[in-house]
Amino acid sequence: MRDSLAGIDYRFGDPRLLRAALTHRSAGSGHNERLEFLGDSVLNMIIAMRLYELHPEAQEGDLSRMRARLVRGVTLSEVASSIGLGEQIVLGEGEMKSGGFRRSSILADAFEAMLGAIFLDGGYEACRDVVLDLFDPLIGALPAAEELKDAKTRLQEWLQARGRPLPEYSLQREEGADHAKRFFIVCRLTDDGTLAEETGRSRRKAEQAAAARVLEMLQGSA
């Protein structure tokens, strides 16, 4: 039974943990969901500690945004792909045929499950070493904390700093079938009438896009 993965510097004392971490629920019992739950918590703790150590002057909100950027699904799936995890995941026949080993959510979940397995097998320090080996380059490449704020927050802070009222967001229309719906949102400034309409696959994404567009307009005219 396999006791290691080529992409990480760790050898399992109990290879059954690795097998469980790599088994998707579509493959039957003994799957990785419990390990995923554990790995998610351990990963968040390790990343939080690392950011706390590296950014002694950062406020709680900035630390939270940095951590969220690092532990979000898309980042985890990219890290999982970088170590070849997708090719090792055990999938049910249906998921295999549909290319489940490339699906971001399956990759991210398997990565967290792998960390949970390492934590159980080798303890916190072993898991920390694996996480930091993979994530330190990403931590070093993080943009400035201000750039990590979402567009609605940045627009709100820009307006508040100038004593201006908060923007209004209104849904103009929805288009498409339920599985492919698009939302059209207008972001409008009540004091001068500045507005922008943008679209997204969710109301939140459309609001963020509209806020970003209004902020571009304001900063361009400042």
The third-level CATH classification (topology) of the domain covering 151-221 is Double Stranded RNA Binding Domain (3.30.160)
Which positions are catalytic? 40, 112
pLDDT digits (tens, 9 = 90+) for 150-201: 899 989 989 999 999 999 999 999 999 888 899 999 999 999 999 999 999 9
Identify the pLDDT of residue 122: 97
pLDDT digits (tens, 9 = 90+) for 18-45: 999 999 988 888 889 999 999 999 999 9
Class of domain 15-143 as given by CATH: mainly alpha
Q: Is the pTM of this model over 0.75?
A: no
Q: How far apart are CA 189 and CA 37, in angstroms?
A: 43
pLDDT digits (tens, 9 = 90+) for 52-102: 999 999 999 899 989 998 999 999 999 999 999 988 998 888 777 777 666
Residue ranges covered by each domain of the chain: 15-143, 151-221
Q: Which residues contact 123 (CB under 8 A, 6 or more apart)?
A: none
Q: Are the beta carbons of 113 and 39 closer than 8 angstroms?
A: yes
Q: How far apart are CA 170 and CA 24, in angstroms?
A: 41
